[in-house]
Amino acid sequence: MKDQITVIWQTIKVFILFTGSTVLFYYGIMWLSEEYDNYHRYDEPNGAAIKVSALDEDGEGSWFDRIVLFYMNGE
């Protein structure tokens, strides 16, 4: 009888530990998701940022020049 109670108590402890870990993981993922939803990726950049298409505004350069520059910079 005492062995059965010990087994039941151990099972309850494992269940509580598993449930608590699952709930903690779930709320952690929800918190991270909310943080990234509130992150504004498309805001105007600060500082000395330039437009990517600034090379084509003066009419010089072609798509080939831009792709060569892309591969030369390794980006």
**Which domain range does residue 27 map to?**
2-73
Q: Is it the case that residue 2 has pLDDT exceeding 60? A: yes
Q: Per-residue pLDDT tens for 23-74?
A: 999 999 999 998 888 777 777 777 777 666 555 555 566 778 778 888 888 7
> What was the pLDDT predicted at 66?
77
Task: With H, G, I as helix, E, B as strand and everything else as coil, classify residue 44.
Answer: coil
Cα separation, 7 vs 13, whole angstroms: 10
Higher pLDDT, 37 or 7: 7
- Show Cβ contacts of residue 54 under 8 Å, excluding neighbours closer than 6 positions: none
The domain tally of the chain equals 1
> What was the pLDDT predicted at 47?
79
Would you say the pTM of this structure is higher than 0.85? no
Torsion of CA 40, 44, 45, 50, to 10 degrees: 140
**CA distances (Å), 36 to each of 24, 28, 30, 39, in order?**
19, 13, 10, 5
Q: Per-residue pLDDT tens for 9-23?
A: 999 999 999 999 999
